[in-house]
């Protein structure tokens, strides 16, 4: 009896792209102090492009002032888009008028950073979760009530708790309520604006595990904003590092955490606490001198050059483009080179035996 032929296993196809951000600029004009001088403009986001595939998580990281939160707000159309486009599926959100945008909001929702100020203290939490359903007239009154009960159960709360007020919950429970409210309209995209940064360390892990669980069960797509690299490694599929309004590196999670290429990315990674490295790792943290340049008048060259431990004079002359150095790995640094067919950055991640160049 001849063996039954085995069909070859088809390669897993990448999920389709849900969110496409192209050349996004968000500039805020400052009040004119002198009528005889040109108006100053804050370039909060200055030419950002990325894609997020359906059912995955893109983490956008960077220090305060890098433009990551402004990028998230622009995606939500909560910050004005100066230039560029934000496309959700086949819908160009940047071209929608106010009425059309209100209709589209059921497809994308946001979880804010502070679980305390994002809930009305005089509103019962069940009404807060139900509010998006009422505003968008989704379902009947009975269906909305059932939906609220389902959401409380999904985020680990009891349905009978919906009659309580925010002050009767802990910070972690309040963030669970915010997550339930964000999921009320069955959104395709959820923007998470540092959703665990205001919580205790022990509670952060619970909320992150909840977000991962909900993503797997509901097929959610996350745009995750954070400054904490340890948090990002736990939840993201892809990572984009921002500095002074621009993306300086974008890569899949495994490739990035195994070998970051941009010096700024390496500096961020060196600051991640690691119990395995102990004091030796802490002593070798890359210390960056000075502050980022002003977003009103960014330098003509690499915006990180003034703080970079390995910058050359040429780095300050012209802004390097964001270049693809290997599949799905992009970096904005003129000093990244190809060695034996693989990209190598100018600054290595510290190890217990490795000395580091430190900015003066």
Within a domain: 90: yes
Please say if the pLDDT value at position 223 is more than 90: yes
Full domain range(s) for residue 271: 263-325+339-344
Please say if the pLDDT value at position 2 is more than 50: no
| Number of domains making up the chain | 2
The mean pLDDT of 322-327, rounded to a whole number, is: 95
| Across 6-10, 70-74, 175-179, least confident range | 6-10
Give pLDDT, residue 138. 93
Within a domain: 251: no
Give pLDDT, residue 246. 97
Half-sphere exposure (Cβ direction) of 185: Cα atoms closer than 13 Å: 23
- Tokens 């005889």, located at residue: 36
Say which CATH number the domain at 157 has: 3.40.50.300
Within a domain: 107: yes
Please say if the pLDDT value at position 273 is more than 80: no
* In a shared domain, residues 165 and 305: no
How far lies 118's CA from each of 26, 109, 167, in Å?
24, 14, 12
* In a shared domain, residues 209 and 276: no
Residue % of the chain over a pLDDT of 70: 91
**pLDDT tens readout for residues 253-263:** 999 999 999 99
pLDDT classification of 163: cutoffs 50, 70, 90: very high
User: 75 and 223 in contact (C-beta within 8 Å)?
Assistant: yes
Within a domain: 354: no
CA distance 75 to 97: 15
Within a domain: 356: no
pLDDT classification of 353: cutoffs 50, 70, 90: very low
Within a domain: 36: no
pLDDT classification of 4: cutoffs 50, 70, 90: very low
The mean pLDDT of 32-40, rounded to a whole number, is: 78
Burial code of 127-142, b = ≥16 C-beta within 10 A, e = fewer?
A: ebbbebbeeeeeeeee
Question: 248 or 227, which is more confident?
Answer: 248
Our measurement of the distance from residue 247's CA atom to the centroid of its chain's CA atoms, rounded to an integer in Å, reads 12
């Amino acid at each position: 009896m001849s063996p039954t032929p085995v069909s070859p296993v088809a390669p897993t196809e990448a999920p389709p792209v849900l969110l496409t951000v192209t050349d996004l600029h968000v500039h805020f004009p400052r009040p004119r102090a002198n009528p005889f001088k040109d108006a100053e403009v804050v370039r909060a986001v200055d030419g950002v492009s990325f894609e997020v595939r359906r059912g995955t998580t893109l983490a956008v990281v960077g220090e305060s002032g890098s433009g990551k939160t402004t990028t998230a707000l622009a995606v939500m159309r909560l910050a004005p888009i100066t230039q560029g486009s934000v496309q959700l599926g086949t819908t160009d959100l940047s071209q929608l008028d106010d009425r059309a945008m209100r209709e589209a909001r059921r497809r994308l929702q946001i979880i804010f950073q502070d679980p305390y100020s994002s809930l009305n203290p005089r509103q019962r939490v069940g009404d807060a979760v139900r509010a998006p359903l009422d505003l968008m007239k989704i379902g009947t009154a009975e269906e909305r009530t059932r939906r609220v009960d389902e959401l409380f159960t999904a985020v680990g709360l009891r349905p009978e708790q919906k009659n309580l007020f925010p002050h009767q919950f802990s910070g972690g429970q309040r963030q669970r309520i915010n997550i339930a409210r964000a999921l009320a309209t069955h959104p395709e995209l959820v923007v998470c604006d540092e959703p665990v940064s205001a919580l205790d360390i022990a509670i952060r892990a619970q909320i992150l595990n909840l977000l991962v669980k909900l993503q797997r069960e509901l097929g959610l797509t996350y745009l995750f904003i954070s400054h904490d690299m340890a948090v990002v490694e736990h939840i993201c599929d892809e990572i984009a590092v921002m500095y002074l309004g621009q993306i300086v590196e974008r890569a899949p999670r495994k490739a990035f955490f195994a070998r970051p290429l941009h010096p700024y990315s390496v500096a961020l990674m060196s600051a991640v606490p690691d119990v395995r490295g102990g004091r030796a790792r802490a002593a070798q943290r890359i210390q960056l001198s000075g502050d980022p340049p002003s977003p009103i008048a960014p330098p003509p060259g690499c915006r990180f050059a003034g703080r970079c431990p390995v910058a050359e004079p040429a780095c300050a002359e012209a802004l390097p483009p964001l270049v693809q150095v290997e599949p799905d790995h992009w970096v904005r640094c003129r000093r990244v080179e190809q060695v034996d067919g693989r990209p190598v950055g100018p600054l290595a991640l510290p190890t217990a035996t490795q000395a580091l160049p430190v900015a003066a």
